[in-house]
Amino acid sequence: MIGAVRQTLRSSSRGYGRIASHLLNGSKSNAVVVPAVVVPAVREAQGAAVFFPRTYTSAAEAVKEAPAPTVKNLVGGKMVESQASEHIDVINPATQEVVGRVPLTTHQEFESAVAVAKEAFKTWKRTPITARQRVMLKLQELIRRDMDKLAMSVTVEQGKTLADARGDVFRGLEVVEQACGMANQQMGEFVENVSNGIDTYSIRQPLGVCAGICPFNFPAMIPLWMFPMAVTTGNTFILKPSEKDPGAAMLLAELALEAGLPPGVLNIVHGTHDVVNQICDHPDIRAVSFVGSDTAGTHIYSRASATGKRVQCNMGAKNHAVVMPDADP
């Protein structure tokens, strides 16, 4: 084999996992080098963190030595281990390596996340818009700082090239930048004397707990489409990342907390159809944003709007290609 594979594992104290395998061009060794790293959270639970510089004869041996970590939920500003009995493997599409395990969040855990978001809304909605903007200003700074880390997470879990993954993050960053000017964007309107003794005005107020359901194809951009605008306008948020690649969303949540977002304003739950249906049905969730397939979007729009929620669904798109007669056979 030309080149050696370096398997770099990392563990985060807030709960997410394993970074990529990649080729080191120019090396003549067939060994797999694992530098001194923290063994993932599965092993940390058994005692103190362990550092282990070792050389393995195969990537499979290195992976076996360090089990894939379990992704945690974010509830009330804390990364919380789910008590779910079922999990879904997160698989690196390039290597077929299992790089994480996503819990199917229990009903009780979901209810807890919504209750925390509802409670946080009482204070957050009264927080001055300029204070909320400052959180976004700090968040965009932190995203720029950790651009490569976020892009690597997208590449490992979703399969984009690093250049494309950086674009994924950057397009989401543009929305955060837009949120930094929210004070000017959500100004109301006033019209004097529209009739005798009558003036009219409009004001914009937050709804309450909102939720976002994300697809797999843009793991960083679409979460950034959703929660920055929602929380900057005074709402609290429940985010459900794709179960196929939740790592970027978890990293973004860590950055949001570091930027000063109060506990409970942003919460993350994991799962598939059951969690989606709970989002649609829960009476304390006031609005739902979805990006994904036509089939899923039609279901979510119908089910959530039936309970009086505001629903926006960005569903399947088409990317046409034209093959000309002189194309290579």
The string of pLDDT tens digits covering residues 9-55 is 333 333 333 333 332 333 344 443 333 333 333 333 333 333 233 34
| Cα gap 121→262, rounded to integer Å | 10
C-alpha torsion 138→143→146→149, nearest 10: 150
Residue partners of 263: CB distance under 8 A and separation at least 6? 76, 77, 78, 116, 120, 257
168, 170, 173, 175: CA torsion to nearest 10: -70
Name, in order, each residue with C-beta under 8 angstroms of 90's C-beta and a sequence gap of 6 or more. 68, 71, 98, 99, 100, 101, 102, 157, 243, 244, 245, 246, 247
Q: Which domains does the chain have, with CATH numbers?
A: 1-69 (no CATH), 107-314 (3.40.605.10)
Predicted pLDDT of residue 32: 38
For the segment 92-126, what is each residue's pLDDT rounded down to a tens digit? 999 999 999 999 999 999 999 999 999 999 999 99
Answer whether residue 281 shows pLDDT above 60: yes
Q: Does pLDDT of 166 surpass 90?
A: yes
C-alpha span between 89 and 17 (Å, rounded): 13
% of the chain surpassing 90 pLDDT: 71
Nearest to 124 by CA among 237, 235, 287, 266: 235
Is the model more confident about 244 or about 5?
Answer: 244
Residue 38 φ/ψ, nearest 5 degrees: -85, 130
Rounded-to-integer distance, Cα 219 and Cα 248, Å:
6
Q: Which residues contact 75 (CB under 8 A, 6 or more apart)?
A: 109, 112, 113, 116, 264, 267, 268, 269
Q: Closest Cα partner for 80 from 105, 98, 44?
A: 105
What is the arithmetic mean of pLDDT over 124-152?
Answer: 97
252 DSSP assignment:
H
How many Å apart are CA 216 and CA 229, to the nearest integer? 21
- On the CB side of 181, CA atoms within 13 Å amount to 6
Give the count of alpha carbons within 13 A of 10, CB side only. 14
pLDDT surpasses 50 at 156:
yes
Contact 279, 211 (CB under 8 A): yes
User: pLDDT > 70: what percent of the chain?
Assistant: 80
By C-alpha distance, which of 188, 213, 200 is closest to 280?
Answer: 213
- As to burial, measured by CB atoms within 10 angstroms (0-12 exposed, 13-18 middle, 19+ buried), residue 41 is buried
pLDDT band at residue 269, thresholds of 50, 70 and 90?
A: very high
**162's tokens:** 């690093």
- 251, 16 in Cβ contact below 8 A? yes
Q: Looking at this protein, which amino acid is placed at residue 44?
A: E
Is this structure's pTM higher than 0.95? no
C-alpha span between 115 and 121 (Å, rounded): 10
Q: What is the pLDDT of residues 222-259, one digit of tens each?
A: 999 999 999 999 999 999 999 999 999 999 999 999 99
pLDDT recorded at residue 149: 97
